[in-house]
Amino acid sequence: MNTKKNVIVLNRMYVGKYIFNNLGHEIINMYAADNGNHYLYLNATGNFERNHKDEIGTMLLTKSYKQNIVEVIGLATGLKDVPGAEKSLGRNYKEKNNDILQEQKNYIENEGKISYGGASILDIFNDAEQQSIFITYKAEKFYKPKRRIFIAFCIDSDNKELPNDSEHLVKLTQLNWAKTSLKQYLYPKDATNEDYKTIENLVKNSDLWKEDNTKVDSNVDIAKREISLIDICQIQNDENCFSNMLAYFMQQKQYRKLWTEFFKAIGITLEENYSVTREKSAKIENNDNQDYNPNGGRMDIFISDNNKNVIVIENKIKSDINDISTDKNNSTQLRRYYNYVNWLRSDESYKDLNPHFLILTPNYNIPEIEEEKDGNQKLLVPQMKDIYKIITYNKLYDFLSAKMNEFNGDANFKAFYEAIKRHTNQNVNAYLYNEMEEKFIRRIKEINGQK
């Protein structure tokens, strides 16, 4: 047995399709159990290979920040393996392994019925698709950062995505970002020895850490946000559903003043008698020049009023903004919409048309509009980055927040407003973390019979 236990594991949390619909098991990592001890779950399935048995002494808890960069949100030291965690779950791991499950249950009972907020861990995760392993390690000490800490994997030093100087950043030069695993091990004698020293220094830097023994407060009030059909149907990330909701609430009479105020706040004066079209075709009729706009496409939201204001909104939640067409100029969808509106202006009745082009995007997916060139590699004029204005969901959410008291009794609009909130985070993992915290508290309340 290795008495030093000097191996460090990086545990990446709040990742994967599983936690979009389920309570992630790693939620216990950030809390002390009711008995005062800290127990940890190692992603993705709670187990580790036998060759790591009695080797892991330290865990850095991380979440994704940007590509090749993780944020460190916790540190656990003095790790002790929990029975069953070193065993393979087999290929069909979604089915319970009763032998491992019994080892885990025995350990949990011997520890004094491990619970959080008064609810047994066995009850909290009893409906999981796979739950042979509840706990991977028991830690002697748990710490949280005094300020934000980041780890960059083999990344260019002048990368614009790096955090600012007020935050702590360590750079690894040999260890690459693990694309197919949520855990990475650092051994002191392997090929990443220099990176091991870098991480070891991070762990030992007492100026960066504060011990934390926070327990779950099951009395916290989460009733203010009711579960809606948007939550139940899991459509918070569905681009088309969001565009449908936007178009619906823009069309209805009782919300028109609200939207004209929003557009005015971003520099667009729109009359309340505006019309809204969802997925309006951008195909140019009777077009002799087939290079100009051969495919058209459909605009997510097209708004116009009697004063001849036109607003084109491209809603991008997860997809890329730089979709390439098949025309000779490689024109993007953004240019095709711009071309269509210009074509409308060629009609005498639309000559005074006042167009506005917007991209509505989450804070975690703000696009960089690529340059477009013609077949001779000359820049097209104008460039779409100079035409389209980017509006973040955070800007919309902040605006609606100041108005929500007018819609307290409107359950549908309130659900729409709450759904927007997840798209105000700087990265996807941030809202997954917040939602997991909420699910955790709800589950505990249900078990305890609380409302």
Mean pLDDT of 154-179: 73
The pLDDT, as a whole number, for residue 93 is: 58
109's CB contacts (< 8 A; 6+ apart) are none
Angle among Cα 51, 177, 52 to the nearest 5 degrees reads: 10
Angstrom distances, CA of residue 258 to CA of 62, 175, 393, 395? 40, 51, 16, 14
What are the pLDDT digits (tens) for 307-343? 789 999 999 887 655 544 434 455 688 988 998 898 8
The arithmetic mean of pLDDT across residues 187-209, rounded, is: 91
Give pLDDT, residue 17. 63
> pLDDT tens, 362-401?
887 788 888 888 778 888 889 999 999 999 999 999 999 9
Question: What amino acid occupies position 66?
Answer: K
Q: At what angle do helices 256-265 and 239-251 cross, to 10 degrees?
A: 110
pLDDT of 292 reads 47
- pLDDT tens profile 97-129: 888 889 999 999 998 889 999 999 999 987 665
Q: What is the pLDDT of residue 343?
A: 86
pLDDT band at 193 (very low <50, low <70, confident <90, very high): confident
- What is the pLDDT, as a whole number, of residue 291? 47
User: Token pair for residue 420?
Assistant: 């927007």
Three state DSSP letters for 168-219: EEEEECCCCCCCCCCEEEECCCCCCHHHHHHHHHHHHCHHHEEECCCECCCC
Q: What's the chain's length in residues?
A: 451
Mean pLDDT value across residues 40-57? 93
Total-model pTM: 0.66
Q: Domain spans of the chain?
A: 7-216, 229-431
pLDDT at 197 over 90: yes
Q: In the structure, what pLDDT confidence band is assigned to residue 218 with cuts at 50, 70 and 90?
A: confident
Q: What is the amino acid identity at position 163?
A: P
Give the dihedral of Cα atoms 9, 15, 21, 22; nearest 10 deg.
10
From the centroid of its chain, how far is CA 426? 8
- The percentage of residues in the chain with a pLDDT greater than 70, rounded to a whole number, is 83
Are the C-beta atoms of 250 and 277 separated by less than 8 Å?
no
Band of residue 162 on the pLDDT scale cut at 50, 70, 90: low
- What are the angstrom distances between the C-alpha of 424 and each of 168, 362, 421, 431, 447? 24, 6, 5, 9, 31
Pick from 223-232, 237-246, 391-400, 441-450: least confident:
223-232
Of residues 14 and 248, which shows the higher confidence score?
Answer: 248
Structure tokens at 285: 């009729």
Q: Give the per-residue pLDDT at 99.
A: 85
* Predicted pLDDT of residue 446: 85
